Amino acid sequence: MLVQNYLLIKYFQQALHEHNYELNFFFIKQFMTLIVSPDYHAVPILEKNGIRWIPPSQAKRQDIRPLRIGILNIMPLGEKYEFNILHPLGLSVLQLEPIWIRLESHNYKTWEQNHVDDIYQTYENANREQKLDGLILTGAPVETIDFEDVHYWEEIKTILSDARKNIPSTLGLCWAGFVMAYLEGVNKLNYDQKLFGVFELKNLDPTHPIIGELDDIFYCPQSRHAGITDEDMEKAAEEGRLKLLAYGPEAGYTIFSTVDDRFIAHTGHPEYNATRLADEAKRDKDNPAVMPPENFDFNNPLNRWRSHRNIFFTQWVRYCYLSVSTYDMTVEPKFMVSSIESE
């Protein structure tokens, strides 16, 4: 199984590098597998979108150790949001087990409480028997509040402190990206006008293990009331606190990481599908404080960031996998085969 995983990774890397989308599609359709319960509410949507899944009972019978990806979800209407994360994760060539995590200090008011109780667990429980292989921290509708005043701030700090020591990579989306910058001494500022729409970004580091396979220029949705000045980000980079990975004239430094790459931040919403962004636009169309989205028609929602989303998440999962692998990925498959056969 180690050899099989190695070969899949190598062939998929080649397909990405050569922009062989036909081969990418083959791998995605043939080898991706999420481990979810048969009664999970999003199973019909997963199947409609061609995402393969197997129940936990079947996964236990297979000779595969899945990647355990924790998803700390604090988005409003989080049950509906879950598919936005599962879809790009399900495009990996590896088998993944999503571990849904809740905050103990937060009341999920817009969620069905039964749903929270049924499939979500605390961060401590998620790591009790086996450490997570990766962690995703979602956005939250609190970006205009000072970090120290967010009622679950202490719990977030505690989780991220542990994650940086014990989890290969933590991905922060939107507000969570600002949290990561703040923990490195870079504070956000509130906007007079919401940054809303689909914006162009430039890849600043084609050699980076996660964003290196992204196009030189790509697009991503933004939906936020806060940001970080270019000057503060550039100063943090000069002082060796952050790596700046993607930039746009309207969106600013949207993707960045800590210097050890343990935290990677994306202050946009690459995980959104077009419907999610359109729903937000329709919700706020009568709100005078929110202008219509730029470069996006919510009456005819077109997804211009799908490839960015898919490759970004696929590369992040790959990075987590390589970080936890128990064998040297630089070893040639022939050597690995002989080693396994001799056991």
Whole-angstrom Cα distance, residue 184 to residue 252?
18
Question: Catalytic annotation on 320?
Answer: no
Sign of the CA dihedral running 222, 158, 210, 340: negative
β-pairing, 242-248 vs 189-203, is antiparallel
- Read off φ and ψ for residue 19, nearest 5 degrees: 55, 40
**Catalytic-role residue among 143, 174, 225, 308:** 174
**Catalytic-role residue among 87, 225, 269, 308:** 269
Whole-angstrom Cα distance, residue 217 to residue 205?
12
Whole-angstrom Cα distance, residue 62 to residue 223?
41
**Catalytic-role residue among 225, 271, 280, 320:** 271
Question: Catalytic annotation on 269?
Answer: yes
Question: Catalytic annotation on 208?
Answer: no
Whole-angstrom Cα distance, residue 286 to residue 299?
15
Instruction: Collect contacts of 46-55 with beta carbons under 8 A, ≥24 apart.
Output: 46/83, 46/86, 46/87, 46/90, 49/87, 51/86, 51/87, 51/90, 51/91, 52/90, 53/90
CA atoms within 13 Å, Cβ hemisphere of 93 = 23
Q: Distance between alpha carbon 233 and the CA centroid of its chain, in Å?
A: 21
Sign of the CA dihedral running 267, 132, 75, 179: negative
The full 3-state SS of 52-103, as one line of letters, equals: CEECHHHHHHCCCCCEEEEEECCCCCHHHHHHHHHHHHCCCCCEEEEEEECC
DSSP state of 294: B
Closest CA to 172 of 245, 122, 104, 274: 245
User: Across the beta sheet with 33-35, what order do the strands follow?
Assistant: 53-54, 33-35, 95-101, 67-72, 134-137, 170-173, 263-266, 252-258, 242-248, 189-203, 217-227
DSSP state of 159: H
* Positions marked catalytic: 174, 269, 271
